């Protein structure tokens, strides 16, 4: 199955070697129309990348197109899934287990750095993000926060809080 796992923003900019290492950790799966992919509040065991399968994010009734990521923040911060997702049509997905991602990120500093830079861009592109203070806002916008696991988790938490606020409004 050909799934462009690297087409979205989460892994954009990874080297060929880093991409290969990520792909070695993924597995493919098939889902039928109407099948539940994930359920809100379930433990996050990894990230799905939609292939031909298109999904519906049930909490906010958003249609997810192929190449969409499910569980990317949970992959990093270990928080439970924030929404239920059901397949709209038959198709395939790739799955990257959380433990495998942590292993790759821990052994390849380039992966942690690129993922952090992509999270910086995601935060700065989001409208309405609430920063703790002006200094933090400036440091994030200038990509001046080191790409540590703790910092990546904190950035994911900011995005998740923002997404939760949008979904509830």
- pLDDT (tens digit, 9 = 90+) per residue, 20-78? 999 999 998 888 888 888 888 888 888 888 776 555 555 544 556 666 777 777 777 77
DSSP conformational letter for 104: H
Tell me the pLDDT of the chain averaged across its residues. Answer: 77
CATH 2.60.120.10 in the chain, residue ranges = 16-102
**CA distance between the termini of the chain:** 38
**108: pLDDT strictly greater than 80:** yes
Could you tell me the CA-to-CA distances from 62 to 38, 54, 83 in Å, in that order? 14, 11, 11
pTM for the whole structure: 0.74
Identity of the highest mean pLDDT range in 41-45, 127-131, 154-158: 41-45
pLDDT of residue 8: 74
pLDDT of residue 134: 81
Rounded distance between C-alpha atoms, residue 60 and residue 44, angstroms: 19
Rounded distance between C-alpha atoms, residue 94 and residue 47, angstroms: 8
What torsion do the CA atoms of 37, 41, 45, 51 make, to the nearest 10 degrees?
Answer: 30
169 contacts: CB under 8 Å, gap ≥ 6: none
Nearest Cα to Cα of residue 109 among 25, 10, 15: 15
16-102 adopts what CATH topology?
Answer: Jelly Rolls (2.60.120)
Quick check: 149 and 113 in contact, CB under 8 A?
Answer: no
């Amino acid at each position: 199955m050909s799934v462009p796992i690297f087409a979205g923003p989460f892994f954009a900019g990874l080297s060929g070697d880093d991409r290969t290492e990520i792909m070695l950790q993924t597995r493919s799966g098939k889902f039928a129309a109407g099948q539940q992919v994930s359920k809100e509040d379930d433990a996050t065991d990894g990230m799905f990348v939609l292939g031909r399968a298109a999904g519906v994010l049930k909490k906010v009734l958003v249609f997810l197109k192929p190449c969409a990521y499910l569980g990317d923040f949970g992959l990093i911060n270990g928080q439970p899934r924030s929404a239920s997702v059901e397949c709209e049509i038959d198709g395939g997905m790739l799955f990257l287990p959380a433990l495998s991602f942590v292993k790759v990120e821990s052994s390849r500093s380039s992966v942690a750095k690129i993922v952090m830079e992509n999270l910086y861009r995601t935060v700065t592109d989001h409208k309405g993000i609430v920063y703790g203070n002006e200094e933090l806002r400036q440091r994030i916008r200038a990509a001046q926060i080191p790409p540590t696991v703790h910092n990546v988790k904190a950035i994911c938490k900011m995005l998740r809080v923002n997404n939760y606020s949008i979904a509830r409004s």
